[in-house]
Every structure is written in structure tokens, then in C-alpha cells.
């Protein structure tokens, strides 16, 4: 690849994932250029023209792949509904194109492994988009764990909780298994990925999953308990029906604990139209910092405020660009995601069967 020319990116999908996450982060990466966006929706086409002037528009993936065969693309990003992730990723790889796929990469570990095998066979990059590894609060937890500031970690608690008592509808809340909807695959993809990144694959999985809201079809209130090989236990909550939100993280060790409330600010900033480079990106004000200590409640001032590392979503696509240039490993691999998917599949079985699953 020409090292002096930005790599040309084709983005399939301009819904929430495409417009709020992928397109702005691609555009903010110096070595990438948002060349083409695929959307058939006239309103979204107008949005692309307004937000990314000069970017070409394709009405269908067929049009994108025909164009790629003619004048070339360097990367395809799949940010369309979950049911399309596997077939579009497969098509990109068969066409000789590296591909980034929004989470979840697939519905099953077997599908992820098949895509990984195809990418390896073709010598192409395949990377699932797990942006929340670059949340500032998760980066902070990881640093505390790696630096030994907590001692030996005993328990890790992580939550993505919302208060959305009325279903919004759409494929994300569909009960059709083909849609790969529900909160387990939506938010659980992040929570499990983070827990595995910290403590490795679990040995056992237990889950409770419910459909709480009237008219809802897919799970909207799920809990997962993992026991990792080193003895750490991860408790993960994902819910759309939490009237009082718990801490985003609580990590407890033999020497200290860390408790953090609130969400990383990057998603809210992107939704508000802010972009990396608009001020101190991903930084949290001191009142939002977590607290580190032992023997006291952070709710009554126990522990000491611990600075949150800045969030860094731009690091994902910068690493993708480097991997495309030098042939190195992507920032997130399909093999890692296959591990996460095995856990999600086990959690689904556990909830259905009411038992702990051994992996």
C-alpha cells in the first residue's frame, strides 16, 4: 500500500453504529479516509453529505463491492444490523478486502472462527470493533489490576444499566434469533469482552436472563457470573429496566477496592457532534473519578479519588491503520471475540436450563 496516501474506507451502514461511532472515528484518523458510505435511506444519505462532504454514497453493499472491484478500497467496515455481519464480512474477505465488523462479530463462536480461518487463509485483516476496551474507566481498572494496586483481585463487578421501561422496537429488541438481538449480545458483548481481557477465559458460566417489559420480545435484564481460571469471579449486569443505577465498576482485591460510577464520556460526546481533537478528548472531571481504598464506603467519602485515564476510542482505528500498513496484528482479533461468543452462548444456555455451564 502507498504509505503516503490515506487508506480508503468503505462503511456499510449509517445508523447508530455507523454515524455516531465508525464514521467520526474513521474521519478523525489521519491515515484513513472515509471514501464511501452505504445507506439506502434518503435522510441518512443527506446526513452523510452534511457530516462528511465529499464522501461517496452507495445505495447497497452490491454497489460498494462493484465499486471496490473497479477502483479499489483498502478496508470495509460493517456497521449494519447484526444479522448481516457474517455474510457481509465473508463477502468482503472473499473479495480480498480487510474488514472491521461492529460487535457482535457473529451469533456463535463457530461463525467467528470460520471468518477468522478465511481471513488467515487470505492473509487479510479481520477485526471486531470492541471500542469499550478504550473507555477511560476500563483503562483505569486495567492499570490498577496490572500495577497490583488492588492486591490479588477477588471479585470484579461491571454494569451497563439503563432505565428504558418502554421498548423502542426494531431489530435490536426482536425475538427472532436470526436478528441476534437482545441485551445479552448488545451490552454483554462489551461486558464479557472486558472481563476476559482482564482475567482470561472463564472456566464456568452462570446466567439469569429475563424479558421484563410489556411487549418486549428479547432479553432486557440479564446477569452473568463467571469464574476465571485464576480464581477471580466476575459479576456482570446488563439491563434496560434498572430504576436506580449501580456502579459502572467495582473491583475488589486483597489490598484495596476501586468503585466507579457513571459512563465514559466519549459516546455522549460523539452523539453531541463533538469529535476527537475538540478539546481534551475522553477526559473526565474530578467529580466523576472513581475512588480507591479499603474499609470505607465511597458513598460516604471513603477511599481516595483516583484519576480516570482519558478514554481513547481513536486508538482503535489508529491501530487498524498501522496493522494494514505493516501487516501486524489488529487491535482486537476474531479469536478473542470467539472466546467472548463462547461465553455468551454458554450464558444463554445457562439461563435457559437454570444451571452452571462448564467451558
pLDDT digits (tens, 9 = 90+) for 56-76: 999 999 999 998 877 789 999
CA distances from 42 to 36, 39, 57, 81, 273 (A): 15, 8, 11, 18, 20
Distance between CA atoms of residues 136 and 116, nearest Å = 29
Give the up-direction half-sphere exposure of residue 52: CA atoms within 13 A in the CB hemisphere: 26
In sequence order, which residues have a C-beta less than 8 Å from that of residue 225 and are 6 or more positions away? 205, 206, 207, 233, 234, 235, 236
Task: Name the DSSP letter for residue 301.
Answer: T
pTM of the model: 0.95
Percent of the chain past pLDDT 70, that is, above it, reads 99
User: Can you give the length of the chain in residues?
Assistant: 359
CA distances from 170 to 60, 64, 108, 176, 266 (A): 20, 25, 22, 11, 25
pLDDT band at 3 (very low <50, low <70, confident <90, very high): low
Determine the average pLDDT of the residues in 104-120.
98
**Which pLDDT score, from 0 to 100, does residue 121 have?**
97
CA distances from 154 to 14, 223, 249 (A): 41, 18, 14
> Chain-wide mean pLDDT for the chain?
95
Strand ranges across the sheet with 56-58 = 56-58, 32-38, 7-12, 75-78, 99-102, 126-129
Tens of pLDDT, residues 257-297: 999 999 999 999 999 999 998 888 999 999 999 999 998 88
**Which pLDDT score, from 0 to 100, does residue 215 have?**
87
Which is higher by pLDDT, 171 or 127? 127
Q: Strand pairing partners for 129?
A: 102
Angle between helical axes of 188-199 and 334-353 (0-180°, round to 10): 110
**Which pLDDT score, from 0 to 100, does residue 2 have?**
58
Q: Please give the CATH topology (third level) of the domain spanning 135-314+343-358.
A: Dihydrodipicolinate Reductase; domain 2 (3.30.360)
What cell was used for 222?
Answer: 440479564
- Has domain 7-131 been given CATH number 3.30.1490.390? no
For the chain, the structural domain boundaries read 7-131, 135-314+343-358
**Which pLDDT score, from 0 to 100, does residue 206 have?**
98
Classified as helix, coil or strand, 21 is helix
Per-residue buried b or exposed e for 215-254, using 16+ beta carbons within 10 Å of the residue's own CB: ebbbbbbbbbbbbbeeebbbbbbbbbbbeebebbbbbbbe
Are 101 and 87 in contact by the 8 Å Cβ rule? The answer is no
Distance between CA atoms of residues 55 and 199, nearest Å = 41
Distance between CA atoms of residues 108 and 339, nearest Å = 10
**Which pLDDT score, from 0 to 100, does residue 1 have?**
55
Burial (0-12, 13-18, 19+ Cβ within 10 Å), 197:
middle
Amino acid at each position: 500500500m502507498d504509505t503516503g496516501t490515506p487508506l480508503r474506507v468503505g462503511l456499510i451502514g449509517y445508523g447508530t453504529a455507523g454515524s455516531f461511532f465508525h464514521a467520526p472515528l474513521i474521519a478523525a484518523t489521519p491515515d484513513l479516509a472515509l471514501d464511501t458510505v452505504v445507506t439506502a435511506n434518503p435522510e441518512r444519505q443527506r446526513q452523510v453529505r452534511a457530516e462528511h462532504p465529499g464522501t461517496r454514497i452507495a445505495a447497497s453493499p452490491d454497489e460498494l463491492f462493484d465499486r471496490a472491484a473497479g477502483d479499489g478500497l483498502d478496508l470495509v467496515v460493517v456497521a449494519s444490523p447484526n444479522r448481516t455481519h457474517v455474510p457481509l464480512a465473508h463477502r468482503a474477505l472473499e473479495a480480498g478486502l480487510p474488514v472491521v465488523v461492529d460487535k457482535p462479530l457473529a451469533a456463535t463462536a463457530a461463525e467467528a472462527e470460520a471468518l477468522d480461518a478465511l481471513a488467515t487463509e487470505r492473509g487479510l485483516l479481520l477485526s471486531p470493533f470492541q471500542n469499550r476496551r478504550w473507555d477511560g474507566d476500563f483503562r483505569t481498572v486495567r492499570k490498577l489490576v496490572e500495577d497490583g494496586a488492588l492486591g490479588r483481585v477477588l471479585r470484579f463487578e461491571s454494569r451497563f444499566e439503563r432505565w428504558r421501561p418502554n421498548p423502542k422496537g426494531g431489530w435490536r429488541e426482536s425475538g427472532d434469533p436470526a436478528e441476534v438481538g437482545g441485551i445479552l449480545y448488545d451490552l454483554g458483548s462489551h461486558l464479557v469482552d472486558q472481563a476476559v481481557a482482564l482475567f482470561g477465559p472463564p472456566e464456568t458460566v452462570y446466567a439469569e436472563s429475563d424479558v421484563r417489559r410489556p411487549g418486549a420480545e428479547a432479553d432486557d435484564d440479564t446477569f452473568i457470573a463467571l469464574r476465571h481460571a485464576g480464581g477471580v469471579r466476575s459479576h456482570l449486569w446488563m439491563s434496560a429496566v434498572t430504576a436506580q443505577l449501580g456502579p459502572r465498576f467495582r473491583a475488589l482485591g486483597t489490598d484495596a477496592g476501586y468503585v466507579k460510577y457513571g459512563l465514559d464520556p466519549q459516546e455522549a460526546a460523539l452523539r453531541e457532534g463533538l469529535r476527537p481533537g475538540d478539546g481534551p478528548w475522553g477526559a473526565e472531571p474530578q467529580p466523576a473519578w472513581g475512588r480507591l481504598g479499603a474499609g470505607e464506603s465511597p458513598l460516604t467519602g471513603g477511599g481516595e479519588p483516583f484519576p480516570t485515564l482519558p478514554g481513547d476510542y481513536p486508538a482503535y482505528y489508529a491501530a487498524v491503520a498501522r496493522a494494514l500498513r505493516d501487516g501486524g496484528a489488529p487491535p482486537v482479533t476474531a479469536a478473542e471475540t470467539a472466546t467472548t461468543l463462547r461465553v455468551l452462548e454458554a450464558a444463554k444456555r445457562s439461563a435457559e436450563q437454570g444451571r452452571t455451564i462448564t467451558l
